Chain A
Amino acid sequence: MENGRPAASEYFQRQVRWHPLEYAVWLAALLPFVLTPSHLSLASQIAITALFALSLDLLVGYAGLVSLGHAAFFGMGAYSAGLIAKHYWGEPLSVLLISGIFAGVLGYAMSHVIVRFRHLALIMLTLGFGLLLHEAANSASALTGGADGLQGFKYTSVLGFKFDMYGRAAYAYSLAVLFICFLVTRRIIHSPFGLALRGIRENALRMPAIGAPSLSHLRKAYTLAAVVAGVAGALLTQTTSTVSLEVLSFGRSADVLVILILGGAGRLYGGLLGAVIYMVARDQFSGINPQYWYFWIGLLLVAVVMFLPNGILGGLSALYKKTQ
């Protein structure tokens, strides 16, 4: 029986190992400091959006759940970070962590309802929760500032580096948080739990027949994804020193789903690539004709879904395999 065992564990080790291209991607993420120093605030926005998309990938790409209300957790993190800074203290790292935990608690609470549903009901449920939170924040204007947003607080520095007008510290900070969260997510994907999530995605009916507590797995996935989304939201608050009601909007939930589908769900880097393409496109197209820029995103989305069902990254990876 010993025969072949080493090959079996070698297979799993190969899955976990870093690909050379991965190093290249993260080194390339440093290029904006040198190549486009005047666009570092856009770079921060991209890093934050990428982190948000990464958190959704855990649900959509790995657990096979759809969500149209993921902004709930992003918004929870964003408002937490704003309110803590306004009323208590402004040390970024501790607030980032606490905001993530708050979002995680919300995710855990919501998960008890959400994981019992699938398909259309799940989409409507996540959409409904998202709208509820958006309007709750809107009407609680004494706390949140309502439609005017939350201002009057300032995160001045992280580990001694000041958030300046050029956005160097903001991008360095956002990128570092993205990278750390990426490492955590990558570990989750390659853990026994990550395999169980893929099992649920592949066949929810078989899971109970191998003794798997699927609902408990899904609750955990929801909680973890909410923490990461909350951290992304808090990052936005900290790097912009303001919270607008938009952080909880349906538009944000829809955008992040579009970003993930464009980039390619279920591949870790899909959300990152999607965020770069989407944010750069928005920056460029909205400069040309601000009213119509969604036209181009719509066109891109239709083209990708029709011709690249696994997203742009899925297409690239198929191409890469062909050339090997």
Chain B
Amino acid sequence: MLSTKKLNKRFGSLVVAKDIALDLPRGVRYALIGPNGAGKTTLINLMTGMVRPDSGQIFLGGKELTSLRPEARVRQGLARTFQINTLFPQLTALESVALAVLERQGISRVWWKSLPGYREAIDEAHDILVSLHLKTVANRLTRELPYGQQRLLEIALALATKPRVLLLDEPAAGVPKDENAELFAAISGLSRDLTVLFIEHDMDVVFRFASRILVMVGGRILVEGSPEEIAGNYEVREVYLGKARHG
């Protein structure tokens, strides 16, 4: 579904992406792991167009995205969330998600008609909030929501774009460990047609929710495999898990 060919990116002398070639099939749950500074977030930025690659190509469902602007890639079906909440503080949860739905439908250009007339879009936004257990806070301002619900709203906004591929940058970042089960339960409950790639540091979560794991080190994909293969991979233990244990 989503694939890259020989993606390269340097920031000055720092190589953040080196010959990255990926092919993520439909419906698979990928975990992207690797030590800090391995280039995981940069890879998401490259795929979504927020950072331009020095060379290489990006495809979604066979269509090349490399020259498209970020918003055009979203309309092609490639959505993302952010590690640090990137929300609309003074909009309510419902308004935020409705906005994303309206943008997808191309209705957000309409300035001469009143919002309540778009019942379908509002209902859809409402249903997305229900599916992520945010119904009770739908009419509260985003900035007033508890942090965990803001993390869910991050995902709700991405889902409202009806993506084919969803890239989640540390969806549980900052959420206490005993509370992130709800978050990942929501993620694993997403449609099986949707390809999901998530960055995550908590190995328990990774091994529970991922069907495939990508290990990134120093801007390269070190290895890709099933959780069992990764768990048994000596190189991964040495380079990544070993290092991480020493901080």
The listed residue (A194, A195, A210) touching B161 by CB distance below 8 A is: A210
Secondary structure dominating the interface of A:
helix
Stretch among A32-40, A168-176, A196-204, A246-254 lining the B interface: A196-204
How many contacting A-B pairs (Cβ < 8 A)?
146
Q: Are the CB atoms of B115 and A191 closer together than 8 Å?
A: yes
Q: Are the CB atoms of A208 and B94 closer together than 8 Å?
A: no
Whether, in the assembled complex, B112 has its beta carbon less than 8 Å from a beta carbon of chain A, the answer is yes
Whether, in the assembled complex, A5 has its beta carbon less than 8 Å from a beta carbon of chain B, the answer is yes
Which B residues touch A199, using CB under 8 A?
Answer: 88, 91, 96, 99
From residue 75 to 95 of chain B, which have CB atoms closer than 8 A to chain A? 75, 79-80, 82, 86-92, 94-95
Whether, in the assembled complex, A21 has its beta carbon less than 8 Å from a beta carbon of chain B, the answer is no
Whether, in the assembled complex, A305 has its beta carbon less than 8 Å from a beta carbon of chain B, the answer is no
Whether, in the assembled complex, B71 has its beta carbon less than 8 Å from a beta carbon of chain A, the answer is yes
Closest A residue to B96 by beta carbon equals A199
Whether, in the assembled complex, B107 has its beta carbon less than 8 Å from a beta carbon of chain A, the answer is yes
Q: Are the CB atoms of A193 and B109 closer together than 8 Å?
A: yes
Which B residues touch A224, using CB under 8 A?
Answer: 111
Which B residues touch A214, using CB under 8 A?
Answer: 71
**How many B residues have CB within 8 A of the partner chain?**
53
Q: Are the CB atoms of A4 and B126 closer together than 8 Å?
A: yes
A8-B125, A193-B110 are contacts. A211–B104 as well, Cβ < 8 Å? yes
Please classify how large the interface on chain A is, using the bins under 10, 10 to 19, 20 to 34, 35 or more: 35 or more
Secondary structure dominating the interface of B:
helix
Closest A residue to B139 by beta carbon equals A11
Stretch among B12-20, B116-124, B228-236 lining the A interface: B116-124
Whether, in the assembled complex, B102 has its beta carbon less than 8 Å from a beta carbon of chain A, the answer is yes
Give bound CA distance, A208 to B82, whole Å: 13
Closest A residue to B72 by beta carbon equals A211
Q: Are the CB atoms of A209 and B74 closer together than 8 Å?
A: yes
Which B residues touch A213, using CB under 8 A?
Answer: 71
Whether, in the assembled complex, A323 has its beta carbon less than 8 Å from a beta carbon of chain B, the answer is no
Whether, in the assembled complex, B224 has its beta carbon less than 8 Å from a beta carbon of chain A, the answer is no
Q: Whole-angstrom distance from the CB of A64 to the nearest CB of chain B? A: 10
Stretch among A12-20, A127-135, A257-265 lining the B interface: A12-20
A187-B114, A191-B112, A211-B103 are contacts. A9–B88 as well, Cβ < 8 Å? no
Whether, in the assembled complex, A205 has its beta carbon less than 8 Å from a beta carbon of chain B, the answer is yes
The listed residue (B100, B127, B138) touching A210 by CB distance below 8 A is: B100
A4-B126, A12-B116, A210-B157 are contacts. A220–B109 as well, Cβ < 8 Å? yes
Which A residues touch B127, using CB under 8 A?
Answer: 1, 5
Q: Are the CB atoms of B115 and A8 closer together than 8 Å?
A: no
Interface residues of A (CB under 8 A from B): 1, 3-5, 7-9, 11-13, 15-16, 187-188, 190-196, 198-199, 202-203, 205-214, 216-217, 220, 224
